[in-house]
Structure 1
Amino acid sequence: MIVHRRAVPAVVATAALLLTAGLTAGCSSGGGGSPDGARSTAPRGTASGTTPSAGPTESAPPAKGSVKVLRTVAEGLKTPWGVAPLPGGGGLLVSSRNDGTLTRIDEKTGKKTVLGTVSGVSPAGEGGLLGIALSPDYASDHMIYAYFTSASDNRIVRVLYDEQRPPGDQLGAPDTVFKGIPKGFIHNGGRIEFGPDGMLYAGTGESGSKGLAQDKESLGGKILRMTPEGEPAPGNPFPNSPVYSYGHRNVQGLAWDDKQRLFASEFGQDTWDELNAIKPGDDYGWPKAEGKSSEAGFHDPIAQWHTDDASPSGIAYVDGVIWMAGLKGQRLWRVPLRGTQASAAPQAFLTGKYGRLRTVLPADGDKVYLVTSNTDGRGSPKKGDDRILELQVK
């Protein structure tokens, strides 16, 4: 495992330790073996040992919901992948997988301004400039974190966004925070998010080498949790390791509910795509299991889909519901939750209407932004692709 490490500020470490008790809880759709219903005998660490399960008093949203397309925010985007909203309505930052650029979108007018190119990006296949996230201290440091495929690996860097410089030259040189994540033509993962605990989470893929997912010494096929400086986060389940959960095939969606519990979407191979409730240290089965399994020791998904119906990338949590973007499935899935379980059958919206769907993220109130992915080499671009839509969801 190759990790670029920096000193961890004491205040960060202390805060993270205090917050571990409020981290994610997960559950299976059935079976026994854990208090929350997960069939798991995976080792427990500090974080998972103090995480509350879903309580019986938690309410669920309505079983059926609705989606209304309000407007097209922007169009004419090329291979959009990651999106990060700037504070105070300052616009949306969008990464281009193939071009390696970051673009600011004025969410009111749709005007596009290219900030610059992230140097070192080596796009090929499913790799390139993928997920982005703003620094927790963005108001003071103006740093953008980015996950990308380089010539040798997948890595996470941070770049300074300087609005005072001319468009096209507003990005500083990348500062490598974390490196050594296996790369491949496929399964590069790529979603990064800062959690409610202030730690940086990254969904990785097994790069087409299935065995990496079960190898806890490998960074492939994992959800990683680290400090903003790239160190293994305090309270992680395995000593001195950024590995938070393992046995994943290709994680491209991360979202927390209002009780700070983590959910993740995952591409299956030929049979089942998954939505998982993530519990620290647990084994999510790949490649030994795909979808729900009768074998003890694996954490079952809370919902699963045939791969033609989903192939999920981004997810977002809004008012008790996980919204999941489907690529091959070309639809937006609604999964209502009660605690860490699906409370009703998933419901599909926009089937085939906008093609492949890559990223969904919360907007104001009951709204989300939805990003299409028809210029990624696997879609059929239409006039205006790719685009960002604003939806009202319930």
Structure 2
Amino acid sequence: MKSHRNTLVAAAATTALAAGLLLTQTGAGNAAPARADSAPSDIKTVSSGWSIPWGLSWLPDGSALIAERDSFKLYKLTQSGTRTQVGTVPNVVTTGGEGGLMGLAVSPNWSSDHAIYLMHTASDGNRIARMTYDGSSLSGYKAIVTGIKKNKYHNGGRLKFGPDGYLYATTGEAQTPDLAQDKDSLNGKILRMTTDGKPAPGNPFGTLVYSLGHRNPQGITWDPQGRLWEAELGNSKYDELNLIEPGKNYGWPTCEGNCSTSGMTNPKRQWSVGEASPSGVTYADGALYMAALKGERLWRIPVDGTSAGTPKAYYTSSYGRLRTVETVPGENALWLSTTNADNNGGEPDGADKVFQVELK
């Protein structure tokens, strides 16, 4: 026990330093000073002609790397809208549904290690891989986590570095609900790991598993105090916004939304699936911004400590299915992407866009 406590103390001691290095990864603290009365205002198209842009992560120069789910291609997009293909990620397959090239996280030490991390579907299941992007080309594929079951739907897929310096991943239960409650399974979980894919120090079960009882989580972000928030697609009743704590059980499949079952952690907010079906989530200006797929809207949820206030919807049905939202480094603004060219959107390839949303 003494060793475990020391590990936790050491991890906590690195948080403040790591947070300063990871602003472009977490979305917490990288915008202009927070204003509780801010809200989305002007919106403009940064880039069009995309086909299911899924993962998005910032480079130190203020441009973004963006992954297309079904083409397996990786692009660099500048804030002025210049798009350059970086390469195609190997070993990726589709599932005919939600699988493919999903989450993307640029190393917080990219300037020295040139590492990027990708979550994708492979022939043997979902996996997390590390590659090298030297600023012009993509190389050096290495799988660092395997054994995550895949299915046509419910593959999770989000990757982000946390303010503690570790890599976090969301996994779906691969249409096998009982996996979400199985501590020995990597499915239906939030995972926390080192950059080599090993369990991070202080993980509650000594494995990669950080929290369990998730159905299909596709959004994670941190507030300025380092609290982890998660957006999760429900089944037929409720989608969820959860405040994640290590070792906690978030209910699926026993609970969908709020319930009174002992040992289960209730969401901070819930929505009908027609209003949300959330994917990405980010923090800015005193609130969480959550992109909704079926709901075709951007939700703003003010947060105060561990409480989530009354949500308000923006852009309802104006731009279709909203997949990923991230805070723009150094600006009080968001980037917001659509995935209308997927199975549910029904639009042709090239129909998707990346927008910039000003917060005023």
Fold shared by both chains (TM-score > 0.5): yes
- Is 2:77 aligned against 1:105? yes
Q: 1:137 and 2:104 equivalent?
A: no
Distance 2:142 2:152 in 1: 24
Alignment RMSD, CA only? Answer: 2.2
Amino acid at match of 1:301: P
Q: For residues 157-306 of structure 1, what are the structure 2 equivalents within 5 Å?
A: 157-164=129-136, 170-239=137-206, 241-306=207-272
Aligned counterparts of 2:356 and 2:191: Cα–Cα separation in 1: 30
Q: Is residue 116 from structure 1 mapped to residue 87 from structure 2 by the alignment? A: yes
Structure 2: which amino acid aligns with 1:69? D
Q: 1:77 to 1:390 in 2, by over 3 A?
A: same
Contact 1:356 1:374 in 2 (8 A): yes
Aligned to 1:72: 45
Q: Taking structure 1 as reference, are residues 130 and 14 closer, same or farther at Cα in structure 2, changes over 3 Å only?
A: farther
Q: What residue ranges of structure 2 are gaps of 5+ in the alignment?
A: 16-33
1:64 positional shift: 6.6
Is the alpha carbon distance of 1:121 and 1:250 closer, same or farther for their aligned partners in structure 2, counting shifts above 3 Å?
same
1:359 to 297, 310, 324: 324
CA distance in 1, matches of 2:13, 2:92: 35
Q: Distance in 1 between matches of 2:192 and 2:163?
A: 12
Aligned residue for 2:281, secondary structure, equals strand
Q: Distance in 2 between matches of 1:322 and 1:309?
A: 16
Identity %: 47
Unaligned stretches of 5+ in structure 1? 1-12, 25-60, 165-169
Structure with the higher strand share, 1 or 2: 2
Q: Which residue of 2 aligns with 1:49?
A: none
How far residue 292 of structure 1 moved from its aligned partner, in angstroms, is: 0.6
Large movers: runs of 4+ above 6 Å: 13-16, 61-64
One-letter amino acid matched to 1:120:
N
Per the TM alignment, residue 22 of structure 1 is displaced from its structure 2 partner at its CA by 7.5
1:162: how far off? 2.8
Q: CA deviation at 1:160?
A: 0.9
Alignment coverage as a number of residue pairs: 337
Is 1:95 equivalent to 2:60 in the alignment?
A: no
Kindly indicate whether the alpha-carbon contact (under 8 Å) linking 1:71 and 1:389 is maintained by their aligned counterparts in 2. yes
Matched, 1:146 2:118: yes
Cα distance, 1:66 vs structure 2: 2.6
TM-score normalized by structure 2?
0.89
